[in-house]
Chain A
Amino acid sequence: MATSQANVFTVVSKFYDEYVTTTPQRLKIIDAYLAYIMLTGIFQFGYCLLVGTFPFNSFLSGFISCVASFVLGVCLRVQVNPQNRKDFLHISPERAFADFVFAHIILHLVVMNFIG
């Protein structure tokens, strides 16, 4: 068990090194943004566990806003990644970003309506 645990840490560190060296700058920016959103979501959920779910619509609105922003960010990352070019033949990175902005406009309009 000790060796496999050591292997897990080496795997993670190796993965981290490879990530830092091979990932393009654009994707690293998106990944930093995703990490920030994940932290925000965790804080919101923790706050809800502490204080309770009233008013439920505000909690849901804020939490789903985090989840949806995270997911849309992942979609943008997937579409912009040059390794996925053959999956998204008609979608240039500029078009992907424009779609991302459009989806976010809809998302934030609904969140503002729902937050009460």
Chain B
Amino acid sequence: MTVSGLQGKLSSTCPKTCPILPNLQKSKSKACCKRKTENKHPGCDRRPPASANTTYQDPPPKSRTIKMSTAVRGKLPWPLKMSYDKQDTLLKLFVLSIAAVLSFSTRLFSVLRFESVIHEFDPYFNYRTTWFLTEEGFYSFHNWFDDRAWYPLGRIIGGTIYPGLMVTSATLYHVLHFFNITIDIRNVCVFLAPLFSSLTTLVTYHLTKELKDVSSGLVAAAMIAAVPGYISRSVAGSYDNEGIAIFCMLLTYLLWIKAVKTGSLFWGAMCALAYFYMVSSWGGYVFLINLIPLHVLALMATGRFSHRIYVAYSAVYSLGTLLSMQISFVGFQPVQSSEHMAALGVFGLCQIHSFIDYLRAKLSKEYFEILFRTMALFVGTAVTGVGAVLMASGSILQLRCLNVSEHQPTTWSSFYCDLQMLVFMFPVGLYYCFCRLTDANIFIVIYGITSIYFAGVMVRLMLVLAPVMCILSGIGVSGILSTYMKNLDISKVQKKTKKTENYPIKNEVASVVIMMMSLFLITYTFHCTWVTSEAYSSPSIVLSARGGDGSRIIFDDFREAYYWLRHNTPEDAKVMSWWDYGYQITAMANRTILVDNNTWNNTHISRVGQAMASSEEHAYEIMRELDVNYVLVIFGGLTGYSSD
């Protein structure tokens, strides 16, 4: 059937206006008929029917059709022969897979330069506990009392750690072994953080897509694949809580935004489960349990509190609090400590707000005033009485002064080194958010501002700032590119537009801006890779230097010393060293130690310090008292070791 024949056949049923986009010009609506199915109008296949999305308020994306005959279409390469839907999906899949692969591979510098080994100090403790979990099972792990650390006191490991990281690795290990892919537990631990960084890339895409649109999501995903602020704590070998905590945090935020947008209990319950995973993985969950109530408060203050927010927050708070208390280390803190009281307060406020809204809808104005005054009096006295009783018992309002002396405030150079271009794209993203404020955008604005404050206080919290910087910069970059791409004159068709010229040389300005943006993005990537390679990929347990003739000399002294201890000392020997090396000795040398990196008992540490600083006779007495067999001392004077 020819095209003209089809047109003649369907002209009686051809609509005067497009049924999907009623504002479209009349001449273009005839194109409806030329396609065989009624929805394939230019731009139709990109946009869902108008009834579905009234709560989302997304504007329709502008799409261009390039009219071409079937003969020309046949000569195109296969990606362009597909429909726009399929091209769209292919492009998204392509960009996301490249971003995920990039995030995994950029973290592998130290594995390529040295070997697949666990870095630093804290990861060795996590590695040892994971090994114990895979060998002994979950119940032994949960009830583990370790007598090989902090001799003679011991340490209750089961109740003083966040088990999420270990449980994740052990689960992955067992799943792989079930399929007979027998990867050693050490390799699972080393490569867990890069794997989760790939998953973080995908979650960032989905989160930004919920906040703005697909193109911002793709840019944000590409940015978070390489951002040094996140890489610093998640290189291959850095087997620490932050490696999975950032993934859990962004997953919780994604599910929270979905719950806020749909108002469905299902998403609220899923958000509570993701919050439970977050609590099990990192102590930084306190940030989440304060950010989400802050968001709800901001929505109340701006008059956007609706039934959806009520459903989302009530579900998340009630289920989330109960779930968070299942972790032994958290215990009863969610109902007792001051850090969690904001969430409880906002929960109460939500209930009161909803109840007042309900009454206001039911009653007339004067009746409502009378009832409100009586109830306010009654509730006010009750709350004051309960509050007085609780304060008298001193259980709730204990403000704790956190000693942050071990973490320095952040310098500007550190901000630039860790984030580069994101530092100045972040306000652009904020501007685009404010342009079209929705419930979800308010969340990301609050998250951005609070993270900036915390990252300015402590260098370590730069990690929390990196994802939100990527999201907002993604929104900013995508906004700029979309605005200026429209002005580019790449085909002769555009010259026929009837738009009035706002300013001259539109095409040239647009080209310059887009070239500048591309230059920024390219230098961003180069910077990130350079910083990762130079600053964040050192395993700290294996050191290398250049000899006089340029050859590479590897110092493996640490491991040689630990393995000497392992092979040449009796099983129950006690080793005294400074607390830095405690975790490594228990993990690699497998001997009992006096003090380790947990530093929970300062008196015991000071005893060891006294022994190290006294004269030989006095030190010998102290060591006999502490039942020490061997002493381990680091001396870096010969090689110029920087930490000596």
CB within 8 Å of B: which residues of A? 4, 7-8, 11-12, 14-15, 18-19, 56-57, 60-61, 64-65, 67-68, 71-72, 74-76, 78-79, 83-84, 87-91, 95-96, 98-100, 102-103, 106-107, 110-111, 113-114
Given A18-B362, A75-B314, A99-B269, are A12 and B263 also a contact pair (CB < 8 Å)?
A: no
Top 5 nearest A-B pairs (CB, nearest first) are A99-B265, A68-B318, A99-B266, A103-B269, A71-B314
Q: Pick from A15, A65, A79, A113: contact of B311, CB below 8 A.
A: A79
CA distance A74 to B448 in the complex (A): 32
Given A74-B314, A79-B265, are A88 and B307 also a contact pair (CB < 8 Å)?
A: yes
What are 30 A-B residue pairs whose CB atoms fall within 8 Å in the complex? A4-B373, A11-B367, A11-B370, A12-B371, A57-B332, A60-B325, A64-B322, A71-B318, A72-B314, A72-B315, A74-B354, A75-B268, A75-B311, A75-B315, A78-B307, A78-B311, A79-B265, A79-B307, A79-B311, A84-B307, A87-B263, A88-B263, A89-B52, A90-B264, A99-B266, A103-B269, A106-B319, A107-B322, A110-B323, A114-B326
Q: Is the CB of B265 within 8 A of A72?
A: yes
Q: Is the CB of A67 within 8 A of B318?
A: yes
Q: Pick from A19, A87, A107: contact of B306, CB below 8 A.
A: A87
Q: Chain A residues near B359: list those with CB within 8 A.
A: 15
B551 on the A face (CB < 8 A): no
Cβ of B508 to closest chain A Cβ, rounded Å: 46
CB within 8 Å of A: which residues of B? 52, 54-55, 262-266, 268-269, 272-273, 306-308, 310-311, 314-315, 318-319, 321-323, 325-326, 332, 335, 351, 354, 359, 361-363, 367, 370-371, 373-374
CA distance A27 to B596 in the complex (A): 60
Q: Chain B residues near A56: list those with CB within 8 A.
A: 332
Cβ of A30 to closest chain B Cβ, rounded Å: 13
CA distance A91 to B265 in the complex (A): 10
Q: Closest residue of chain A to B306, judged by CB?
A: A87
Q: Closest residue of chain A to B51, judged by CB?
A: A89
Q: Chain B residues near A95: list those with CB within 8 A.
A: 264
Q: Closest residue of chain B to A111, judged by CB?
A: B322
Given contacts A107-B322, A110-B322, 6 further A-B contacts (CB under 8 A): A4-B373, A8-B370, A75-B311, A89-B54, A90-B52, A95-B264
Q: Chain A residues near B363: list those with CB within 8 A.
A: 11, 14-15
Q: Is the CB of A110 within 8 A of B318?
A: no
Q: Is the CB of B315 within 8 A of A103?
A: yes
CA distance A19 to B363 in the complex (A): 10
Q: Chain A residues near B326: list those with CB within 8 A.
A: 110, 113-114
Q: Is the CB of A102 within 8 A of B265?
A: yes
CA distance A96 to B308 in the complex (A): 12
CA distance A79 to B266 in the complex (A): 12
Q: Closest residue of chain A to B53, judged by CB?
A: A89
CA distance A99 to B265 in the complex (A): 5
Cβ of A37 to closest chain B Cβ, rounded Å: 12
Cβ of A72 to closest chain B Cβ, rounded Å: 7
Cβ of B513 to closest chain A Cβ, rounded Å: 39
Given A79-B263, A110-B322, are A89 and B371 also a contact pair (CB < 8 Å)?
A: no
CA distance A113 to B264 in the complex (A): 26
CA distance A12 to B264 in the complex (A): 32
Q: Is the CB of A103 within 8 A of B268?
A: yes
CA distance A76 to B264 in the complex (A): 10
CA distance A110 to B264 in the complex (A): 21
CA distance A19 to B268 in the complex (A): 30
Q: Is the CB of A88 within 8 A of B308?
A: yes
Q: Is the CB of B307 within 8 A of A100?
A: no
Q: Chain B residues near A75: list those with CB within 8 A.
A: 265, 268, 310-311, 314-315
Cβ of B382 to closest chain A Cβ, rounded Å: 13
Q: Which of B55, B263, B325 has the most CB atoms of chain A within a 10 A radius of its CB?
A: B263
CA distance A84 to B307 in the complex (A): 8
Q: Closest residue of chain B to A10, judged by CB?
A: B367
Q: Closest residue of chain B to A75, judged by CB?
A: B311
CA distance A96 to B374 in the complex (A): 35
Given A8-B370, A11-B371, are A99 and B264 also a contact pair (CB < 8 Å)?
A: yes
Cβ of A100 to closest chain B Cβ, rounded Å: 6
Given A89-B55, A102-B266, are A4 and B307 also a contact pair (CB < 8 Å)?
A: no
Q: Chain B residues near A14: list those with CB within 8 A.
A: 363, 367
Q: Is the CB of B325 within 8 A of A68?
A: no
